[in-house]
Amino acid sequence: MTEEPKPRSASRDAVRTLFFNGAAAAVGIVTGIVVAKTLGPTGKGYFSGLTLLQSGASSVISGFGASITYFLSRHKRTPADLLGPLTVIFAVISVLQPILLLLWGWRFGLTPALVVFCAASPATVIVAWQQGIYLGLDRVPSLNSQVFGFTVFLLIAVSAALALHLGLAGALWAWALTTYGAAVVIMLRIANLLRGKAAWNFRDALRSITTYGITANGILGFLNYRIDSLVLIAFLGASGFGVYSVAVSAGEVLFRIPRAVATATTYRVGASAFEDSALTTARSIRTCTAIVIAAALPLYILAPWLVQWFYGPQFAEASPALRILLPGVVLFVSVGLFSPFFSFQMGRPIVIIWMSLCMIALQTGLGIWLVPIYHLDGAAIASTATYIAAAIIVTVYFCRLTKMSWIDVWIVRKEDLKTLRRLLPRGRPSGRASSGR
């Protein structure tokens, strides 16, 4: 049997995860500033392109991470049950992924970033699955420390490479070494959790994990977040993307808030009864939206000063794009919190897939139309319009399923604010919080 973790407060887990994610985001921004100051917009564009490539490739295989969460939490499978099938899937992906990418590079151009990513391919698979593993075992603190540790060591490695005047290549290989280090830590932690023999038939397990993993494929989610960047790269190249990545990274800081809450509540959303799961989801969205609005307002006001101060005048065009992105980011936080309900409570990741397809079509069309005209601002407008449309659609569908009103989902309540105030100082979590409601 899976080792049962001690019950914890979902709200307190969310606050702790938000703290770690916020710290990780801050360290990531510092890394971006170091690269931007040393290598300029073009170098920043290439380095951000490597992380974009990692996000894209990881999204293709992240469905298997979601599959891990689903079978560990909802179906109470053990790590031993999943070990054999996942080993086979890992081996296949580790071979196919670099082959396909190198064929792409041979046809369209082999860049240093592509070579480095292929060399780190096995490690990227493990890192892509880390969230699914830790959430499925309800080990949020381990995930938090892993995410934060990666960003810290990446900053150290990249800074050291640039200090030694190794240039862009040194920064890229520093990323690869850090990724391998993270993968080793994950494997050692999981090895300590393996108990007993597999009770799930290997073929049945492989078929089930693969079927769910392919259905929950995250490439559509990646495109939802990154199609604006891909369109912009096509029209403006690495230098333009380097500037736009500053606006995107600032918006990513706000996305850390709902991701922290989703990380803390995913196990409960998947394992609870339908009504409790819906209540947890709605409360998470209400609270997250209030927090994101409070964080976005000063960012909107201070955007020009912050960009100029930290990145320099070469990146000044990023501040208007950031301001345009912020309203869409505020509303889009809900989508990431609806996703665990559809995927793990209902077992229907297809809902997210259909929504993602609609978003990709809309954002791509708007991007191709607006980027040649308005450049960075055009990409930001396309993203914000798409985010707003997605938030409306998914809210309507969720309310139909759960018989809730949009007020239940979006309007923060007095008890939500009381919970937040209780969590800020040190104190005991309440009984209701520990139930995830």
For the segment 206-245, what is each residue's pLDDT rounded down to a tens digit?
988 888 877 665 565 556 566 667 777 777 776 777 777 7
184 residue type, one letter: V
Task: Sort 222 into a burial class: Cβ within 10 Å, 0-12 / 13-18 / 19+.
Answer: buried
Residue-by-residue DSSP string for 113-154 = HHHHHHHTHHHHHHHHHHHHHHHHTT-HHHHHHHHHHHHHHH
Q: Please tell me the least confidently modeled range out of 18-22, 26-30, 384-388.
A: 18-22
165 residue type, one letter: H
Q: State whether residue 188 is helix, strand or coil.
A: helix
| Predicted local confidence at residue 25, as pLDDT | 78
| Interacting residues of 430 by C-beta distance below 8 A, sequence separation 6+ | 9, 419, 422
Q: How far is CA 12 from the centre of its chain?
A: 20
For the segment 335-390, what is each residue's pLDDT rounded down to a tens digit?
778 888 887 777 777 777 777 788 888 888 888 898 888 888 888 898 899 888 88
In which band, very low, low, confident or very high, does the pLDDT at 430 lie, cut at 50, 70 and 90? very low
Per DSSP, helices labelled H in 312-411 are 318-340, 350-374, 376-402, 406-410
361 residue type, one letter: A
| Interacting residues of 184 by C-beta distance below 8 A, sequence separation 6+ | none
For the segment 261-303, what is each residue's pLDDT rounded down to a tens digit?
777 777 778 777 888 888 888 888 888 888 888 888 988 898 8
